[in-house]
Chain A
Amino acid sequence: MNDMRHVERTVRVDTTKITARDVQVFYGDTHAIRNVSVDIPDKTVTAFIGPSGCGKSTFLRCLNRMNDTISVARVEGRIEIDGEDIYDRRVDPVQLRAKVGMVFQKPNPFPKSIYDNVAYGPRIHGLARDRADLDGIVEKALRRAALWAEVKDRLSAAGTGLSGGQQQRLCIARAVATSPEVLLMDEPCSALDPIATDQVENLIHELRENYSVVIVTHSMSQASRVSQKTAYFHLGELVEYGETGQIFTNPQDERTENYITGRIG
């Protein structure tokens, strides 16, 4: 891996996928996110970086309304996907989450077979007409997650029996099986060893072909390796947002520079 890759990478800016304006998040009395406004483009990998507790994961969880499951959390402001406000009263979070998939920090395969793990989303959303159709979706998702070759002979084995890196790729396969348009990844490599991390990073790179990927990471080198855009969060605020190469080589804000040069973190 060439860490300087990002410098020569061209950024293909298509349309804007997600627009956030003045987003505030409260956990009870704590003001966790302040005034975050950001435009996340389609078919791009966007990285959220920042010291731990800076709110990057919290903001990520706003994008598919996972914060709804926490009773004390409250979100204000406006977040739009393809121009539609996802906090509109008419929006069903269930439908939203099918469109905005999520991969979590720790691999969390269900205690079911590999096949059933991947087929879970298509089943609940009714995406397959019949068994053959479902088989096709599962295979495609596993191929997309670069796991097919390793597991095609043991699809009925337990998903929990895979190695850490395989489990995380299984979770990615599970997420892409519902054909989302956006894929949110919350520190997907923090529980993995370097080799597994490398595999997942390659995968993220390829996922960009089809999805808008937003990844939260605490590793700056990972952000520079996989992303085209980078947002730096600090104490609940979005400090700086721009091209990855520009953020890492020429940060505009002092706090970003301090973080990148290792003075805070």
Chain B
Amino acid sequence: MQVSFILLSLAAIGALAFVTARHRAIASVGGDARRLHSLPIYYGLNGSIMALVPALALLVAWMLVQPLFLDGAIRSDLSDSVLPEGSAMGLVVSDVRRVAEGLESGPLAQSFIAGDFADATPEEVGRMLVRGGTALGAPLTRPVLDAAMEYRTTSRTLRWIMGIAVLAVAVIGAAVAIHRSEGSYRARNVVETGMLGLLMVSASIAILTTLGIVMSMLFETANFFSQYPFTRFFFNTTWQPSFSGRGGASELGILPLLWGTLYISLIALIVAVPIGLFSAIYLSEYAGRAFRSVAKPTIEILAGIPTIVYGLFALITVGPLLRDAIASPLGLGNSASSVMTAGLVMGIMLIPFVSSLSDDIINAVPQAMRDGSLGLGATKSETIRMVIVPAALPGIVGAVLLAASRAIGETMIVVLGAGAAARLDLNPFEAMTTVTVKIVSQLTGDTDFNSPETLVAFALGLTLFVITLGLNVLALFIVRKYREQYE
């Protein structure tokens, strides 16, 4: 049974439940809607909710559990003996799934049902599948084909059962709601409780997202560390993934990547913090109203520009400029992509971020502090340097930490501006690479989710997540403490 068909049927049942429940409620009080406990629409809504919510919940749960169940079934079907030489169980299982899908929905589906292939050899079926657009990990063998047919039958059966079960739940829910729809029934309260539940579920999606992020990375990272020792990952100073071998030949040390990340972030902050801070100070303490109303939004435009634009800017303008104007003449390198290129452009990106955060923080320093200092005969700049900035220091530190976390997690600028060579070097005009660049390069193109070269990306991602999360939590904590001080 197609999911779309199930959804359409559910919509129909929901609509029917709405009309019937509403009608029955009005009928129960002899057509005088004033004698109902709630407005008629609530009886209708109650009908729809009772029909749809449990049924949809069942549908979603079923679709999540079914693949897990089927995978288990394949695994128990295929004994170890049928495994082709040197291939892992996971690969065979995914082959089985793909073959089954190819038979189900590919161009072969029609002829297959007609029984054309009853006598075809697995090789022939395999060739036809490949022609139909199904990618296969290994040549099709008899046990795999059998398992696939079995899989296909089971999954069809399960789909049917699911459809019937979901629709049955919907009908039962609708019937219960309609049955209850009488004048004294507190439909509004029930509907509102239901809606509150929906609101709560929506709010919890944030938690689910975080959970999803952590889970998805934890599992694959654990998988990675089972193939590659974590001491080598954290303490090895070489990054050299091999493309042919499996694991043994690869050097996957995170240190050169972390070095590149921190070096670029440092340059970005050296650019962004003074410029951002001074702009904020100038705009909030010195600039006239007219200048401020033009300059502030102009600088904030920088914040709205997507990072890919900065990346292209680094690639086509800043990189060649730095190489031709500084690096080559001084003999410091001849690569357009370099730590300096990426750091400089990232610094520009962070200017509005630092400046708008600092602006908020400087404005939070009470006017009394300024008056106190000016009243003693301090100049404006003395007041700023000796009173306002020290008073705002915790907040500014928080803002810098947030900016650092941004810089560390930034991807497109470094992908296009920093280069791909993992290197532990001090020369800022040398190409280096970062954690995010390697996540992209290990996870794009041909990926094999059983090799450490791919899985390492999850370990890198988790490291990145932990570092940025730490910085963010620390920064938010500092900023919150700072604000409390002046409230």
Contacts and interface: CB of A to CB of B under 8 A. Distances in A.
A, B: real partners: yes
Interface of A: 64, 66, 69, 71, 94-99, 101-104, 106, 108-112, 120-121, 124-125, 171, 174-175, 178
Contact of B377 (A94, A110, A171): A94
Contacts of B387: 110, 120
Interface of B: 289, 366, 368-379, 382, 386-387, 390-391, 485
Given A66-B371, A108-B369, A124-B386, A174 B376 contact: yes
A111 B370 CA distance: 12
B368 A120 contact: no
The 7 closest A-B pairs by CB, nearest first: A97-B377, A102-B375, A98-B377, A108-B368, A108-B372, A121-B376, A111-B391
A97 B376 contact: yes
27 contacts: A69-B374, A94-B377, A96-B377, A99-B377, A101-B375, A102-B375, A102-B376, A108-B366, A108-B368, A108-B369, A108-B372, A110-B369, A110-B373, A110-B387, A110-B390, A110-B391, A111-B390, A120-B373, A120-B376, A120-B378, A124-B376, A124-B377, A124-B382, A124-B386, A171-B372, A175-B376, A178-B376
Given A97-B376, A110-B372, A111-B391, 12 more contacts: A69-B370, A96-B377, A97-B374, A97-B375, A98-B377, A99-B377, A102-B376, A110-B373, A111-B485, A120-B376, A125-B377, A175-B375
B402 to A, nearest CB: 22
A121 B377 contact: yes
B233 to A, nearest CB: 44
Contacts of A104: 368, 371-372, 375
Nearest to A111: B391
B367 to A, nearest CB: 9
A184 to B, nearest CB: 8
A99 to B, nearest CB: 8
Contacts of A174: 372, 376
A58 to B, nearest CB: 14
Given A111-B390, A112-B390, A64 B378 contact: no
A110 B382 CA distance: 13
A174 B377 CA distance: 11
A64 to B, nearest CB: 7
B210 to A, nearest CB: 36
Contacts of B386: 120, 124
A97 B289 CA distance: 26
**Most A Cβ at <10 Å: residue of B369, B370, B377, B391:** B377
B284 to A, nearest CB: 13
A14 B24 CA distance: 98
B231 to A, nearest CB: 46
Contacts of A124: 376-379, 382, 386
A153 to B, nearest CB: 24
Nearest to A171: B372
Contacts of A103: 375
Contact of A178 (B377, B379, B391): B377
Contacts of A96: 377
**Most B Cβ at <10 Å: residue of A97, A106, A111, A174:** A111
A27 B380 CA distance: 22
Contacts of B289: 71
Contacts of B374: 66, 69, 97
B373 to A, nearest CB: 7
Nearest to A102: B375
A92 to B, nearest CB: 9
Nearest to A174: B376
A94 B386 CA distance: 15
A98 B379 CA distance: 11
Contacts of A95: 377
A117 B372 CA distance: 10
**Most A Cβ at <10 Å: residue of B289, B369, B378:** B378
B268 to A, nearest CB: 30
A183 to B, nearest CB: 11
A121 B374 CA distance: 10
A111 B481 CA distance: 15
A260 to B, nearest CB: 30
B431 to A, nearest CB: 45
B375 A66 contact: yes
Contacts of A94: 377-379
Nearest to B288: A71
Contact of B375 (A64, A106, A125): A64
Nearest to B379: A94
A112 B370 CA distance: 14
Contacts of A66: 371, 374-375
**Most A Cβ at <10 Å: residue of B366, B369, B376, B382:** B376
Nearest to B391: A111
Contacts of B372: 104, 108-110, 171, 174
B369 A101 contact: no
Nearest to A109: B372
A227 B190 CA distance: 72
A101 B373 CA distance: 10
A112 B386 CA distance: 10
Contacts of B378: 94, 120-121, 124
Contacts of B379: 94, 124
A28 B377 CA distance: 25
